[in-house]
A and B are shown apart, each in its own frame.
Chain A
Amino acid sequence: MALTNSAFLSVRDLVVEYTAEDQVIHAVNGVSFDLERGKTLGLVGETGAGKTSIAKAIMRILPDPPARIRSGEIYLDGEDLLKLSEKEMRKIRGRKVSMIFQDPMTALNPIMKVGAQISEVIRLHNKVTGREARERTVLMLERVGIPGDRADDYPHQFSGGMKQRVVIAMALACNPELLIADEPTTALDVTIQAQVLEMINKLKSDFNTSMIMISHNLGVVAEVCDDLAVVYAGEIVELGSKEAVFDRPAHPYTRGLFGAVPKLYDDRERLSPILGLPPDPSNLPQGCHFSPRCPYATDPCRNDKIPLREIEPGHFSRCIQVIRPEG
């Protein structure tokens, strides 16, 4: 995945900051990536790495203040979303781009029937009669595995897994070309998670939807993504195809993540945690943001700005150390 300008979604040098009291929190620090039509990009990283800020910047739903998109470009189908007026953006949200949030319990209006919540999105973006909207709502519910007659139920009448399906049905109601899923299965049990992931994979291939999947769970990302971006302290530290990143992880942070997760088929006695803590985003270390925790760090790592380097075709790492491949 070379960085070209022909991609369906192109994010370039995105910088997002939050202002809190008199501090500036550097949430996203120059993120660039491309996404082709029909492909899925995984954004992986730990709490506070800036994954959700990237997603909200694309949707343009960052609360301003305190958040601010300082610079960057977000091209969707050749159009820079950051240059659109709020009115123009409203036409894109929910229609061309939609988002699934982490917590299905809070993403739905508790005093509105779920069918009405889905119809609302359909009627907002399409000139259709109430009856047509209703028909499409029932169709969407059935597509995510919920009987259509449950359109007249309220959110509290659904279980967590079913609520997340309703949220997904709503996000897909207008056939968006880009779907952003922010930890869509984190609040769900594993067997329900498997159902939802299978459904997402099926819907993606049926509609050729592009998707950004945000997760801290490497396993979930492995299930649904084509490409992977590892985010640390607001920067992409590694970017490449899923195979490249899983088979030949290059950045010390990515390797650290793999070493820290217990595996389902592995008898290691000890995990290898990453030492230390993620940096304070209002006071990022100079040079490589990971250098204070990195076992390979040298003086240039601590002092210089480290660029994202192509280490093999389509596989990028933000590291100047030559680390021999593992295994």
Chain B
Amino acid sequence: MPTLLEVRNLKKYFETPRGMLHAVDDVSFSIEKGKTLGIVGESGCGKSTLGRVIIHLLDSTGGSIYFEGEDITNPSPRKLRKLREDMQIIFQDPYSSLNPRMTVEQTIMEPLVISGRFSKKERQREAERLMAMVGIDQRLRLSYPHELDGGRRQRVGIARALALNPKFIFCDEPVSALDVSISAQVLNLLQDLQDQFGLTYMFVTHDLSVVRHISDDICVMYLGQIVEKSPTKELFALPLHPYTQALISAVPTIDIHRKKERIILQGEVTSPINPKPGCRFARRCIHECKKCHEPQHLEEVLPNHYVACCRVRELNSL
């Protein structure tokens, strides 16, 4: 499959009173058309910022973004308008991402209004089609968000994202605010829509079980950087970076008979403000050594399996 999206050395820094906050620091990856790339990491690791920079809700500080082979790092206003149709977002919180004063139908039709290519009749027909597609009953057409439960609201958010037939959707923790039985419905819907329309997803979440379920490939982020990148199955079968290993071992599992060795990390995430060169995980890492304080680079350790750790070969006897 051809590559749909590629980012190279992408950076996003924020100025703060205490210095430069490195939210996204030198991130590179690509996603093939029709695939799902999962981005996992804990709060504050920059995963949402990364997505927002890619779809141009935030400007990048450095690096470049390519979409369908074209450099879209600094698009013209006209190009950006076209990009907004191709790249969409589904937000985490279906409570705050819908305008409380717009009905379901108005919300879903708004992108169509903005595009200016649809007559009123066509817009209504489209809204009807989109509602059916995401499984919202037509009788809820004139309902307001407060009348809907979280799962239905998230469906409205999905219908709005799909309104202009995007190619790429940035899913920003789309099921984190939902209960398990509802979250399963939404995950299945996202998979069906992907199969149906060949959509490409970038799926950001802190939930490893969800990311494993939905992704083809996964990037693990720590403090603004990718520390490991691998096909999904391999990442869980053979996690190589010490942070990934700790992260996977920390997930409480419902398999009560699976005895697993738990790696309990000491300490907490350090500040992303003015980080020192070198591995940002080193301070919490049980394998820390002198070389860890030199800059680390993602290296292809196994086919398609990249790790940014100077001791990865030695520690995993590769």
Q: Is B276 an interface residue (CB 8 A)?
A: no
Tell me the bound Cα distance from A194 to B255 in angstroms.
16
Q: Is B124 an interface residue (CB 8 A)?
A: no
A261 engages B209 (CB within 8 Å):
yes
Chain A residues with Cβ below 8 Å from B191 are 270
Secondary structure at chain B's binding surface: helix, strand, loop or mixed? helix
Tell me the bound Cα distance from A281 to B212 in angstroms.
34
Tell me the bound Cα distance from A197 to B236 in angstroms.
22
> Chain B interface: which of A12-20, A116-124, A272-280?
A272-280
Find B212's partner among A159, A260, A264 (CB 8 Å cutoff). Answer: A264
Tell me the bound Cα distance from A259 to B183 in angstroms.
12
Tell me the bound Cα distance from A217 to B214 in angstroms.
19
B188 engages A270 (CB within 8 Å):
yes
B180 engages A261 (CB within 8 Å):
yes
Residues in B244-258 with C-beta less than 8 Å from chain A? 246-256, 258
B179 engages A264 (CB within 8 Å):
no
A264 engages B248 (CB within 8 Å):
yes
> Chain B interface: which of A24-32, A92-100, A147-155, A185-193?
A185-193
Chain A residues with Cβ below 8 Å from B251 are 190, 219, 264
Residues in A270-323 with C-beta less than 8 Å from chain B? 270-274, 277-278
Known A-B contacts A222-B254, A258-B254; A277 and B184 likewise in contact (beta carbons under 8 Å): no
Residues in A180-215 with C-beta less than 8 Å from chain B? 189-195, 197-198
Q: Is A242 an interface residue (CB 8 A)?
A: yes
> Chain A interface: which of B18-26, B28-36, B262-270, B302-310?
B262-270
Known A-B contacts A191-B247, A191-B250; A260 and B209 likewise in contact (beta carbons under 8 Å): no
A197 engages B182 (CB within 8 Å):
no
> Binary interface profile of B, 37-50, with partner A (CB < 8 Å = 1, else 0)?
00000110000000
Chain A residues with Cβ below 8 Å from B210 are 262
Chain A: residues with Cβ within 8 Å of the partner, total of: 44
Chain B residues with Cβ below 8 Å from A273 are 181-182, 184-185, 188
Q: Is B213 an interface residue (CB 8 A)?
A: yes
Known A-B contacts A189-B43, A270-B191; A159 and B184 likewise in contact (beta carbons under 8 Å): no
Find B184's partner among A223, A271, A278 (CB 8 Å cutoff). Answer: A271
Q: Is B71 an interface residue (CB 8 A)?
A: no
Q: Is B149 an interface residue (CB 8 A)?
A: yes
B254 engages A263 (CB within 8 Å):
yes
Q: Residue on A with the closest CB to B246? A: A191
Residues in A2-51 with C-beta less than 8 Å from chain B? 46-47
* Chain A interface (Cβ < 8 Å from any Cβ of B): 46-47, 159, 161-162, 189-195, 197-198, 216-220, 222-223, 242-243, 246-247, 256-265, 267-268, 270-274, 277-278
9 examples of A-B residue contacts, CB within 8 angstroms: A195-B265, A216-B180, A219-B253, A258-B254, A261-B209, A262-B212, A263-B253, A273-B181, A273-B185
